[in-house]
Amino acid sequence: MTPVPADPQETPVPPRAPGPAAPPVLEGRGLHYAYDDGGGPAVAGADLAVGPGGLLAVLGPNGGGKTTLLRLLSGGLVPDRGEVLLDGARPPAGRQGRDLLRRRVQMVYQDPDDQLFSATVGQDVSFGPLNLGLPAAQVRERVEWALDALGVTSLADRPTHLLSYGQRKRVVLAGAMALLPGVLLLDEPTAGLDPAGVAGLVATLDGLRDRGTALVVSTHDLDLVHGWADRALVLDRTVLASGPVREVLADTALLSRARLRPAWGPAVGRVLRAGGLLPADAPDPSSPRDLDRLHPR
Amino acid sequence: MTPVPADPQETPVPPRAPGPAAPPVLEGRGLHYAYDDGGGPAVAGADLAVGPGGLLAVLGPNGGGKTTLLRLLSGGLVPDRGEVLLDGARPPAGRQGRDLLRRRVQMVYQDPDDQLFSATVGQDVSFGPLNLGLPAAQVRERVEWALDALGVTSLADRPTHLLSYGQRKRVVLAGAMALLPGVLLLDEPTAGLDPAGVAGLVATLDGLRDRGTALVVSTHDLDLVHGWADRALVLDRTVLASGPVREVLADTALLSRARLRPAWGPAVGRVLRAGGLLPADAPDPSSPRDLDRLHPR
Amino acid sequence: MHIPEGLLPPLHAAAWTAAAAPFVVHGVRSLTREVRANPEAKLLIGAAGAFCFVLSALKIPSATGTSSHPVGVGLGSVLFRPPVMAVLGTVTLLFQALLLAHGGLSTLGANAFSLAVVGPWVAYGAFRLVRALTARLPEGTSLSLAVFTAAFSASLGTYTVTSLQLALAHPDPEGGVLGAFAKYATVFSVTQVPIAVIEGLVTVVAVRLLTSV
Amino acid sequence: MTPIDTAAYRSRWRRYHPAVKGVLCGGLLACALMLPPWPAAALVAAATLGSAVAAGVPLGLMARAAAGPLVLIATSAAALLVSVGGAEPVGWAPGGPARAAEVAARASAALGTQLLFVLTTPVADLLARLSRTRLPAALVEVVALTYQMLMVLLGTAHRVASGQAARHGYRSRRAGLRSAGALGGVLFLRSLDRARRLQEGLACRGYTGRLTVLVDERPVPPVEWAAAAAPPLLVAALTLTSTALR
């Protein structure tokens, strides 16, 4: 793996994920936003924080405001009330603050086709660094690093429209990572991916977390985040719950209220422990394969 | 629920799902298709059949040929080899056969925007029946019935582009149902829907099955089809397995080969039965909520 | 630049509609022929119309902040040819009036004449001319020059016609139509000339992307 | 995506036939264009505003939509204050202020009637009626397809542009040109792709070249026609009376 390229203009990305005591990279306080269409607030008073290498899952039904919340955090929307803090400080007002936010926080949308607009993979990944006005050598270094981090180096010269859906998702992620953000906001990153694609993406994202990138992931797939995220926030316009992911997922009544389907893992773990099939201190199974190991056929 | 409108031009839809002995409505025999792009066959030798009220799940990884198979069955693609049989007979060659196939078999694409073209919901649903050359009164009757069957009557005057994703999916389904097809082919019908949306769609589709509509559903979500489909077919260009859904889902080695994640239900059922927590003849749990009932907290 | 509702006297509005009508009718005829010969063309033409509208609604960076007025006439004319653009441009103008309130309904004919008739023909003529003059240059350079000239002159041609339409409607009490034209052309050149340059450059980038995939 | 059309769908007046709203707005437009601007323009503006309030039109949106055209109207009117090519090359135009005021009042009133119409009449309702006119079917269908596809494509354009902005695509003028050009190119490719996919998707629904849909037509009660025609007639009567009295 090539080393993270140096960026003289900003705090370097910490090399490893520090403990939970690390101060948050990105915080939202009392975020509130209503669209112009008279449909009431899309997000009403959300508080959240994510530290380096952390993974915060934003859970909620369709139309619950997950995408809006991510757009508020990315600076794509300006909150009606509340504020976004970067590395514990309020970014300066106006253009300068927006630039800073965009440099440190990158959002990746659900549909990769909305984010690819160059002829080849390499050109597309270089779009962000070129816009920053970096010298060519540095741009090249960053592009190589990002392609490598996402495991798509071999695709560099391929036209984007000939890639598979999963490959396009990775290229979009590489384009965001080439800006060396401290935080990645991922909107439904696994939507449309098959199980193999999901597994590959999770492994890649874990690699980025190991390097210190904080992740905020919106999803309604609780099986995905159980055993993967550190913390979870349940959003249905207002924040219904927030805390360590296992605690949030254990509250099935709350999940029902948010029109979410409980994850299998905690439910299975509970039944198995109650029946004495799993030691009281063992973690919940995180996939059906764990059950196979528990009880080989 | 309004009664199914009469259609003098074709076999009436049977009112209830007959037993498994009923002859298949739609059959594919030795279907083979390669796109022009030189990438080898997308589907190589698929056999399948579905009876009235039946549900056949087509499982497989992305790029495994699921959509191609559905398009072959819908008549949208003509197989290089093999044939599609309707109600046990080969449709006549040429235009007449294609028209018959389109009347009896309707395909619903993953992206609703691929099939919506008219400004309002009611107008859009009227498109198919009008193409059949039905008189206006009968078209109106069918549109009303289809909107009602899909629970979108209240949206009739709404413009399609202002609907949510889940609503648009329902409208496309209504557009297909207005043709009173014997078979519905659904490509990844739950992709992008949240759990509540999935549950609503499943209930609606079950209603159609009760009326005798046969369903072919492509997906890679095995938890969805376990306990819902009758039969399953695993497709990764060639058919890797085909049979009753429980048998297919029990073969985890096969699922691995098809890059699919095993479903929770069968795995949990197996462990619980082995540990004596579930009677040997009880069905597998089909959702985490079933476990709650098994072992109330 | 679209003439808003009410800025032209009814007689002028009617006259410009009559002037644009033959071109649009001719376009509709060729469109109908095309669709009859090839039913798939209907969806392509619909998509092209959608493309023209969305392109015209884009906010591109310009000297005075952003402007939402360039119409992509240059790109459209090169891609679809002027007779088709007469229809697509008029449909675009209709939707702009209905969805964005850019340009009026009574002034639709006048705007169609400048944006959907004169603009495309100027663009097409400029494109052909520059292609012929630069035939010896490398293909990429020749195409870029031709595309830039097409988009630039379409934008400029449109604005010239608009100024003339306003001058005819509101002649100067002393300088007459010519004086009024000088006034409007000068006032609008402040925004329209930079926009024409920018539209030319943007169109070149777009065509380069299209020829590289 | 397009706030005006969205507001029109929610309008209290949506259920009225577009032709009825056409009589009202078209009548007022004719008054603004053809009658002496004083007092017709003021009367038209009053009738328009009153109708907008009655129809529940969001007035803020109406003002925002009017802003752009009003700038052009103001610029065009201001040009009337100056005279070119007389005794002096450039000078104040004789009677300029009166003419400028007249043109600005006329055009602003006319603009109001257009906004009232588009804010109460969704395009879908107009398209449905277009099929009953004598326009060629191919044209009517292309216009309807354009509407549906432009809504989908506008969403794409919005998402692509905000993705570019997030990656500093509009940070400098140079970057902005590159981004806008790429956006135009991408939109062209995506519109072709949409056409191909819709072709496939509609083929499954029995598309054979005609995109006919069923439009339900409700007869318009005479009282609605009368109500729609009343305000323009009243404006005309008042204007002509006051002109005659003067």
Contacts of D123 in chain B (CB under 8 A): 119
Look at phi and psi of residue D122 and say left if phi exceeds 0, alpha if psi is from -120 to 50, else beta.
beta
- The yes-or-no verdict on residue A281 having pLDDT over 90 is no
The verdict on D47 and D67 lying in the same domain is: yes
Is the four-CA dihedral C1, C2, C8, C10 of positive or negative sign? positive
pLDDT given for residue D12 in this prediction: 92
For residues A142-168, one letter each, b for 16 or more C-beta atoms within 10 angstroms of the residue's C-beta and e for the rest, the string is: bbbbbbebbebbebbebebeebeebbb
Q: Tell me the residue range of the domain where B127 lies.
A: 26-246
Q: How many domains does chain A have?
A: 1
- D170: in domain: yes
Q: Between chain A and chain C, how many beta carbons pairs sit less than 8 Å apart?
A: 7
- A3: in domain: no
Which residue is closest to A161 within chain C, CA to CA?
Answer: C213
Express as a percent the part of chain A with pLDDT over 90.
57
Which residue is closest to A174 within chain D, CA to CA?
Answer: D167
For residues B206-238, one letter each, b for 16 or more C-beta atoms within 10 angstroms of the residue's C-beta and e for the rest, the string is: eebbebbbbbbbbbbbbbbbbbbbbbbbbbbbe
Give φ, ψ of B50 to 5 degrees.
-140, 135
Tell me whether residues B62 and A166 touch, CB distance under 8 A. Answer: yes
Contact A155, A147 (CB under 8 A): yes
Shortest distance, CA B218 to any CA of chain D (angstroms):
16
Side-chain-side CA neighbours of B290 within 13 Å: the count stands at 15
Taking the Cβ of residue B202 and every Cβ of chain A, the question of whether any pair is shorter than 8 Å is answered with no
Tell me whether residues B131 and D212 touch, CB distance under 8 A. Answer: yes
pLDDT given for residue C63 in this prediction: 40
Q: How far apart are CA A147 and CA A163, in angstroms?
A: 14
What is the β-pairing status of strands B41-50 and A55-59?
unpaired
DSSP state of C118: I
| HEC assignment per residue over chain A | CCCCCCCCCCCCCCCCCCCCCCCCCEEEEEEEEECCCCCCEEEEEEEEEECCCCEEEEECCCCCCHHHHHHHHHCCCCCCEEEEEECCECCCCHHHHHHHHHHHEEEECCCHHHCCCCCEHHHHHHHHHHHCCCCHHHHHHHHHHHHHHCCCHHHCCCEHHHCCHHHHHHHHHHHHHCCCCCEEEEECCCCCCCHHHHHHHHHHHHHHHHCCCEEEEEECCHHHHCCCCCEEEEEECEEEEEEEHHHHHHCHHHHHHCCCCCCHHHHHHHHHHHCCCCCCCCCCCCCHHHHHHHCCC
B165-177 helix and B121-131 helix, angle to the nearest 10 degrees: 20
- The yes-or-no verdict on residue A2 having pLDDT over 70 is no
pLDDT given for residue D218 in this prediction: 78
Q: How many residues would you count in chain D?
A: 246
- The yes-or-no verdict on residue A37 having pLDDT over 80 is no
pLDDT given for residue A5 in this prediction: 63
Which residue is closest to C208 within chain A, CA to CA?
Answer: A119
Centre a 10 Å sphere on the Cβ of residue D223 and count the other Cβ atoms it contains.
8
Contact C26, C164 (CB under 8 A): no
Contacts of C213 in chain A (CB under 8 A): 119, 159, 161
Interface of D with A (CB under 8 A): 3, 6, 10, 58, 156, 159-160, 162-169, 171-172, 175, 179, 182-183, 185-186, 189-190
The verdict on D151 and D116 lying in the same domain is: no
CA-closest candidate to residue B286, choices B251, B249, B260, B253: B249
CA distances in angstroms from D35 to B261, D112, D241, listed in the order given: 75, 16, 12
Domains of chain C: 10-208 (1.10.1760.20)
- B267-292 per-position pLDDT tens digit: 898 888 888 888 888 888 888 888 87
CA distances in angstroms from B207 to B151, B192, B212, D33, listed in the order given: 11, 22, 9, 59
Tell me whether residues B117 and D214 touch, CB distance under 8 A. Answer: no
Contacts of D165 in chain A (CB under 8 A): 76, 102
Q: How far apart are CA B289 and CA C171, in angstroms?
A: 79
Tell me whether residues B195 and A267 touch, CB distance under 8 A. Answer: no
C73-80 helix and D173-203 helix, angle to the nearest 10 degrees: 40
- The two tokens of residue A112 are 């990769």
Q: Tell me the residue range of the domain where D149 lies.
A: 133-203
Contact A192, B192 (CB under 8 A): yes
Contacts of D197 in chain B (CB under 8 A): 109, 111, 113-114
More confident residue, A262 or D20: D20
- The two tokens of residue B93 are 């060659």
- The two tokens of residue B177 are 């149902």
pLDDT given for residue D143 in this prediction: 93
CA distances in angstroms from A131 to A119, A243, C136, D157, listed in the order given: 17, 38, 34, 20
pLDDT given for residue C71 in this prediction: 53
pLDDT given for residue D54 in this prediction: 94
- The two tokens of residue D60 are 């803020």
Shortest distance, CA A30 to any CA of chain D (angstroms):
23
- B53: in domain: yes
> Average pLDDT for residues D202-209, to the nearest whole number?
82
Contact A196, A37 (CB under 8 A): no
- The two tokens of residue A248 are 């949030």
> Average pLDDT for residues C148-153, to the nearest whole number?
92
Interface of C with A (CB under 8 A): 209, 212-213
Contacts of D153 in chain C (CB under 8 A): 47, 50-51, 53-54
Q: How far apart are CA A115 and CA A170, in angstroms?
A: 11
Which residue is closest to B162 within chain A, CA to CA?
Answer: A37
pLDDT given for residue A3 in this prediction: 57
Confidence of residue B3 (pLDDT cuts 50, 70, 90): low
What is the β-pairing status of strands B183-187 and B41-50?
unpaired
CA distances in angstroms from A276 to A227, A269, A271, B26, B274, listed in the order given: 22, 10, 9, 48, 12
The verdict on D85 and D11 lying in the same domain is: yes
Q: How many domains does chain D have?
A: 2
- The yes-or-no verdict on residue D185 having pLDDT over 60 is yes
Taking the Cβ of residue C180 and every Cβ of chain D, the question of whether any pair is shorter than 8 Å is answered with yes
The verdict on D102 and D198 lying in the same domain is: no
- The two tokens of residue C6 are 């009410």
Contact B186, B224 (CB under 8 A): no
Q: How far apart are CA C35 and CA C87, in angstroms?
A: 14
Tell me whether residues A260 and B194 touch, CB distance under 8 A. Answer: yes
Is the four-CA dihedral B4, B10, B13, B15 of positive or negative sign? positive
Taking the Cβ of residue A39 and every Cβ of chain D, the question of whether any pair is shorter than 8 Å is answered with no
pLDDT given for residue A96 in this prediction: 87
Q: How many residues would you count in chain B?
A: 297
Q: How far apart are CA C185 and CA C162, in angstroms?
A: 9
Tell me whether residues B118 and D213 touch, CB distance under 8 A. Answer: yes
CATH number where A56 lies: 3.40.50.300
- D181: in domain: yes
Chain-centre distance for alpha carbon B278: 32
pLDDT-wise least confident of A210-219, B191-200, B219-228, D208-217: D208-217
Contacts of C98 in chain D (CB under 8 A): 4-5, 118, 123, 126
The verdict on D79 and D148 lying in the same domain is: no
The verdict on D112 and D169 lying in the same domain is: no
- A191-206 per-position pLDDT tens digit: 888 888 899 999 999 9
- C120-130 per-position pLDDT tens digit: 999 999 999 99
- The two tokens of residue A149 are 């981090």
Contact C124, C82 (CB under 8 A): yes
- The yes-or-no verdict on residue A293 having pLDDT over 80 is no
Contact D183, C58 (CB under 8 A): yes
Residues 30-69, chain B: which have Cβ within 8 Å of A? 61-63
Which residue is closest to C62 within chain D, CA to CA?
Answer: D173
CA-closest candidate to residue B70, choices B41, B36, B108: B108
Tell me whether residues A164 and B192 touch, CB distance under 8 A. Answer: no
A contact test, residue of B251, B261, B292 with most A CBs within 10 A:
B261
pLDDT-wise least confident of A279-288, C3-12, D207-216: D207-216
Q: How far apart are CA B80 and CA C126, in angstroms?
A: 48
Confidence of residue A104 (pLDDT cuts 50, 70, 90): very high
DSSP C6-73: TSS-HHHHHHHHHHHHHHHHHHHHHHHHHHHH-TTHHHHHHHHHHHHHHHHH--EEETTEEE-----H
> Average pLDDT for residues D208-213, to the nearest whole number?
82
Q: Which residue has the tokens 């035939």?
A: C135
Specify the amino acid at residue D161.
A
Q: CA gyration radius for chain B?
A: 20
Express as a percent the part of chain A with pLDDT over 70.
91
Specify the amino acid at residue B73.
L
- The yes-or-no verdict on residue A9 having pLDDT over 50 is no
Chain-centre distance for alpha carbon C24: 14
> Average pLDDT for residues B220-237, to the nearest whole number?
92
- C44-99 per-position pLDDT tens digit: 899 989 998 998 887 655 443 334 455 577 888 888 889 989 999 999 999 999 99
Q: Between chain A and chain B, how many beta carbons pairs sit less than 8 Å apart?
A: 112
- B147-181 per-position pLDDT tens digit: 998 889 999 988 888 888 889 999 999 999 999 99
Taking the Cβ of residue C36 and every Cβ of chain D, the question of whether any pair is shorter than 8 Å is answered with yes
- B262: in domain: no
- Does the predicted interface ipTM exceed a cut of 0.90? no
Chain-centre distance for alpha carbon A289: 25
- B289: in domain: no
Contacts of C204 in chain D (CB under 8 A): 181
Confidence of residue B21 (pLDDT cuts 50, 70, 90): low
The verdict on D191 and D225 lying in the same domain is: no
Beta bridge partners of A218: A58, A187
The verdict on D50 and D172 lying in the same domain is: no
Confidence of residue B13 (pLDDT cuts 50, 70, 90): very low
Q: Which of D146, D185, D211 sits opposite C209 (nearest CB)?
A: D185
Express as a percent the part of chain C with pLDDT over 70.
93
Confidence of residue A11 (pLDDT cuts 50, 70, 90): very low
pLDDT given for residue B126 in this prediction: 93
Shortest distance, CA D60 to any CA of chain A (angstroms):
11
DSSP state of B62: T
- D230: in domain: yes
Chain-centre distance for alpha carbon A133: 27
The CA dihedral of C16, C20, C21, C22, to the nearest 10 degrees, is 130
Contacts of D138 in chain C (CB under 8 A): 28, 31-32, 35-36, 42
> Average pLDDT for residues C146-158, to the nearest whole number?
91
- The yes-or-no verdict on residue A15 having pLDDT over 50 is no
Tell me whether residues B192 and A194 touch, CB distance under 8 A. Answer: no
Confidence of residue D212 (pLDDT cuts 50, 70, 90): confident
- A258: in domain: no
Q: Which residue has the tokens 């915060």?
A: A56
Is the four-CA dihedral A105, D180, C198, D74 of positive or negative sign? negative
The verdict on D116 and D234 lying in the same domain is: yes
> Average pLDDT for residues B42-70, to the nearest whole number?
94
Q: How far apart are CA C163 and CA C187, in angstroms?
A: 9
Tell me whether residues D181 and C180 touch, CB distance under 8 A. Answer: no
Give φ, ψ of D150 to 5 degrees.
-70, -30
Tell me whether residues C213 and A117 touch, CB distance under 8 A. Answer: no
pLDDT-wise least confident of A229-233, A252-256, B10-14, B138-142: B10-14
